[in-house]
Amino acid sequence: MAIALTEEHRALAESVRGLVARDASHGALAAQGVLGLHVPETAGGQGYGLLELAVALEELGSALTPGPFLPTVLTSAAITWSGRCGSLLPGLADGTVTAAVVLDGHGLGASDADLFLVPVAEGWAVLDRASVRATAVEGIDLSRPLTQVAILAHTGPPSPTGPPPQAEPHGQAEPHGQEGSPGQEGSPTRTGSPAGTASPSQPASPAAAGASSQASPSRAETPSHAETPSHAGAMDGWEAPASRVLGAVPVRELAAVLLGAEACGVAAWAVRTASDYAKVREQFGRPIGQFQGVKHRIAAALVALEQARAAVWDAARALDTAHSQASTSAPDTRHAQDAETAPDSFPAQASISAPDIGRARDTEPALGDDLRTKTDAGRRGGGQKALGQDTQGSTNLPNAIVHDARHSTDRPEALGHGAQTVEEGATTLEPAAPPTVGVAALDTATPPAVGVTALDAAVRLAVGVAAVLGPDAAVRCAADAIQVLGGIGYTFEHDAHRYYRRALSLRMLAGDPGVWAEEVAELAVGGARRTMEPDLPAEAASLREEIRTLAGDLAREEPPARLGRFAREGWIMPYLPEPWGRAASPLEQVIIHQEFKGLRRPNLGIAAWAVPSIVRYGTRDQQDRFLPKTFTGEIVWCQLFSEPGAGSDLAGLATKAVRVEGGWSISGSKIWTSLAQYAHWGICLARTSPGKPKHDGITYFLVDMSAPGVTVRPLKEINGEEIFNEVFLDDVFVPDDLVVGEVDGGWRVARDTLSHERVALGDSWGPGSQHTDMVKLVRRLPRLRQAQLEQVGRLWAEGQAISALGLRVTLSQLAGTDSGTASSVRKLLGMRHAQAISEFCWSLAPADPHWNRMILTTRAFTIGGGTTEVQLNIVAERALGLPRDP
């Protein structure tokens, strides 16, 4: 699944994909509205949000789109968030103005950009080109320039104790322009008088004079050095022009999401390219995609991509919701300042958090490839939340303003590199000095920008997870693509190296993933949580009220009576058809899950895999005989599938069923049968026609575990428990009425059972081995070493992304769309994650009895229900179309 999940987002992605295939120029993107997707309609944009922008960026990343798109939309996103400098937005949205952004000391964008988003003592500011010295620097990405940016001292008013204004030391400087859009009066311009002087036809700019847009204070009115915050990113005694200060804008967080979205596009190209090549490139007489090593490498890359997409998607919707809430509920702070200090603010949008499905603008054309037409159905408005909009998790952490771009750590490399030598009169923005943009860092004359509030810890957590996983996935997938391509991938003859370069650049710009991981760890240990529950459409309200009433009625029953009603009324597996379930729609299933959390419906265990197959393929007599007592727990089931010579290769089973009078005689042995010593009945596969191909000639039986000839021998596992068993079947009689489905048609029934097994295991395996359990342990321990703290963050990020992936699967089901192999991906991630959690927690507390048991128990998680290798084969063959083994 791409970042695009809804029908509207998929249409947007398709439109962008088609556009860049025809013309990926900056002008073409602007003409079709892509540059203004997230910009308010009042400022010339389309009024959507970051999630829509992320959808577009994934497609642009997949096409390796060059040019200033990313820094330009990041700058307009920061301006939109701040509520200031609104007059700059139309030019950014229509493509007449480009921007560069300083991220962790690296300037993303061209040196001749019109605007520069830079960290200053007051937070962030948007400066004209004439106010900075921008020098192109060589970067690893061949198609996107990097720039070293230095703020010129004369950009703002010097304090009495600060250095005097400096002119451009090398000849004629770039001129200062009025704040606005290029090409209009009062706009930045690339020609004019020397720095610090006025053009004969144009007054000196407020930026050059350090004044507001309407008046220039005298030196006596200039704030003293004590009133001007000093910061490593801004020269002592220097302050940014008030008209260009955005304030406490979460630029670092916005950048992490947008860079992560483009990284997903890079990773998607890499996976697709490697897969396509592996299908046609032949070695040793067959396609290389048939070799398991190649197949698994590409499948694992797809798994990493899906995990990154889920994380970026969740972070984008979290920021959208945070901005929507700030725009609608934050007090207007402009009344505390003169109008001249915030001349370009614009009305806050009612909501830019999620599309209102079905709403369209009447003023747009109904046909064509224009994105404004393609995405009208998702137009935001009215503040009404649509399916899939974010819900925030509660936390007991104090709210924190957007935090310092450096992690508070004593790790030397986390503190950045040393200062570089620059010309006198300029302040270089370098990695050692990212902005501290909390309220305390703001000058008293510059209150926080309108609409900006403290980012909730849960939002910061979501962004941190995206920053940990997104760029890394792009680097990993691009590197894997080069490996699969072989020699050609290592040459300029193929584009793979360009994507690898872009991936490395994105990771550099997003910031050290290790630092982000430490922040994730501190937030998680501190109690921050993301709630992974879907918001439901308005029509769910009446259904919820009905189900809540029924749940309340059930809660008043005594436990035995409640269990009986669970079974009779179809509450245990509500998606099954009546009378065994409630024929519940995906929407109803979600509501039942939410409203029944406190009622403790029984866990059917192996029966949860067997029951759907009996419902679908069994006779009515079989259903009436077995299902009611299974739901009440009177019948316990086991699964007699695996054999000593047929584990993952289930179709290779050797157990035989021979026709006898009135039924069948089954002989053979089964192994790894969970809880067989407690089971009343077993679902069993046996070969009834040995002469047919191995997937044919298999029949699905129901076996009485107390029947003569059934012997169960428990197996002691490495953790000392006895869950698995070996089962011997010696001439066990099974009557004809206990055959499920057709004779010789058991493989179809078994595949149905196995599909339920994979989903069940992915959702439920691993009690005591989740990322939340890891945090509980960490809280009890002394402070971890830095490397351990980073590992906590990485494991938490992985676990939270798995949860986000599960939510995306749920939303796909609610929308009636195919989630593809997402369940297999989630199962694969979940099993490996449980092992990694147990291994790490045991390393922290090797004397803890619980983790002593879990590090042993979880070894089975990547074996049971289909080994990791089998799951990778499923992903590779079904999702990517790689050839099956001969």
User: HSE-up of 84 (CA within 13 Å, CB side)?
Assistant: 29
Exposure string (b/e) for 406-415, b if CB count within 10 Å is 16 or more? Answer: bbebeeeebe
- Of 761, 791, 764, nearest to 775 by C-alpha is 791
Say if residues 468 and 523 touch (Cβ distance below 8 Å).
no
| Structure tokens that stand for 383 in this block | 């503040």
H or E element at residue 312: helix 292-329
Torsion of CA 462, 464, 468, 469, to 10 degrees: 20
The whole-angstrom separation of Cα 568 and Cα 627 is 10
Say if residues 478 and 499 touch (Cβ distance below 8 Å).
yes
- Of 454, 504, 432, nearest to 475 by C-alpha is 504
Q: How far, in Å, are 152, 162, 623, 666 from residue 734 at the CA level?
A: 89, 95, 17, 7
The whole-angstrom separation of Cα 151 and Cα 129 is 10
Say if residues 27 and 72 touch (Cβ distance below 8 Å).
no
The whole-angstrom separation of Cα 76 and Cα 89 is 6
- Of 88, 98, 93, nearest to 30 by C-alpha is 93
The catalytically annotated residue of 757, 790, 798, 877 is 757
User: HSE-up of 671 (CA within 13 Å, CB side)?
Assistant: 12
Tell me whether residue 70 is exposed, middle or buried, using C-beta atoms within 10 angstroms of its C-beta: 0 to 12, 13 to 18, 19 or more.
buried
**Active site annotation includes 519:** no
- Of 753, 681, 685, nearest to 710 by C-alpha is 681
User: HSE-up of 415 (CA within 13 Å, CB side)?
Assistant: 8
603: helix, coil or strand? coil
700: helix, coil or strand? strand
| Structure tokens that stand for 683 in this block | 């679902």
The whole-angstrom separation of Cα 188 and Cα 195 is 13
Exposure string (b/e) for 680-698, b if CB count within 10 Å is 16 or more? Answer: ebbbbbbbbeeeeeeeebb
How many CB atoms are closer than 10 A to CB 366?
8
Torsion of CA 341, 346, 349, 354, to 10 degrees: -90
CA 371, 373, 378, 381 dihedral sign is: positive
Say if residues 139 and 498 touch (Cβ distance below 8 Å).
no
- Of 466, 454, 312, nearest to 397 by C-alpha is 454
Q: What is the 3-state secondary structure (H, E, C) of 60-80?
A: HHHCCCCCCHHHHHHHHHHHH
H or E element at residue 804: helix 786-814
Q: Which amino acid is at 410?
A: D
195: helix, coil or strand? coil
Catalytic center residues: 757
